[in-house]
Amino acid sequence: MIPTFTVVIPTYNRAKFIRKAIRSVLRQSCKDWKLLIMDDASTDRTRAKVEKYLFYPNITYYRMEKNAGISKVMNQALSMVDTPYLVQLDSDDWLPRRTLAVLKRYIHKSKPSTALYYGNVKIWRVRRGRYYNPFLVKHKHFRNKYRFLKYNRWMVAPRCYRVAALQEVGGWDTSDKYDGRIMEDRRIILRLIERYRVRYINKKLYNRTKHRGQLTDGNMKHRRNHLRRKTFKFYLKRWGNKFKPVYSYKNGYLVIKRLRKVRRRRR
């Protein structure tokens, strides 16, 4: 019998974190899962760290031939998944014990057209192996696609995707000049939310880390802002040019402060 979930852990040089992510899946109260570890050609000891878990029949390790970036990694994972749902777990994060059980319960209560489930996230700072000063980020329900387009807080997590919906929208976008290495999370949700329902679960379902290895330099901010502007313009045009964006910056990142309705001239 095929399980409900494949938990996909995409990883690149996160050897010191990845065991915590794997153990959080093994400790799930719901055992209705497979685990797929996607190594984007790491140059550290990632393979050695995961080796001890590969005797489990429901755990698979796959190494990309060369470093390809997160979107290509997730598209490769999507081609390998045979379960109805895919849960993305970043390799420096971990799941609370009941995450999959809660997701499964809400899946059974939701309409089949729902393509994404997500909840609340606890953020942990990490320094020298110590986890400290956690704070909770409560997400919200997006009443329409424009609400998500404007959303500029921490990205929603966990991201539990209906696999058929991912396949129908063509998976993760790699057509930009950065090969899908930036903003892959926001962009895949935009692909989904224009066609399907999404479901917010008001429970803590994910633990995310904040550490020095994630620091973004000025050049990366420039790239992100370039892609943000292109993404905003693309979807507003795709959705009929009904609104004009008023931009602002938050912590150095381009955001939509508000959307102004475009008044059409009467002929």
**Buried/exposed 112-121: b ≥16 CB within 10 Å, e otherwise:** eebbbbbbbb
Domain tally, the chain: 2
| 205 lies in the same domain as 224 | no
Going by pLDDT thresholds of 50, 70 and 90, the confidence category of residue 266 is low
Please give the share of the chain, as a percent, with pLDDT higher than 90. Answer: 88
Among 171, 191, 214, the domain-final residue is: 214
pLDDT in tens, 150-171: 999 899 999 999 999 999 999 9
Q: Which CATH number is 51's domain given?
A: 3.90.550.10
Containing 258, the helix (H) or strand (E) segment is strand 253-261
pLDDT in tens, 243-253: 999 999 998 99
d(CA 70, CA 76): 10
Q: Which residues contact 128 (CB under 8 A, 6 or more apart)?
A: none
| 166 lies in the same domain as 177 | yes
| 63 lies in the same domain as 142 | yes
d(CA 73, CA 67): 9
pLDDT in tens, 89-120: 999 999 999 999 999 999 999 988 999 999 99
Among 170, 196, 214, the domain-final residue is: 214
Among 188, 214, 240, the domain-final residue is: 214
| 176 lies in the same domain as 267 | no
- Structural domain boundaries, residue 150: 5-214
Nearest to 159 by CA among 86, 81, 106: 86
d(CA 16, CA 263): 54
| 105 lies in the same domain as 68 | yes
| 227 lies in the same domain as 189 | no
Share the mean pLDDT of the chain: 95
| 175 lies in the same domain as 266 | no
| 82 lies in the same domain as 95 | yes
| 49 lies in the same domain as 109 | yes
pTM for the whole structure: 0.95
| 152 lies in the same domain as 229 | no
| 169 lies in the same domain as 126 | yes
Is pLDDT of 217 > 80?
A: no
| 40 lies in the same domain as 102 | yes
pLDDT in tens, 169-182: 999 999 999 999 99
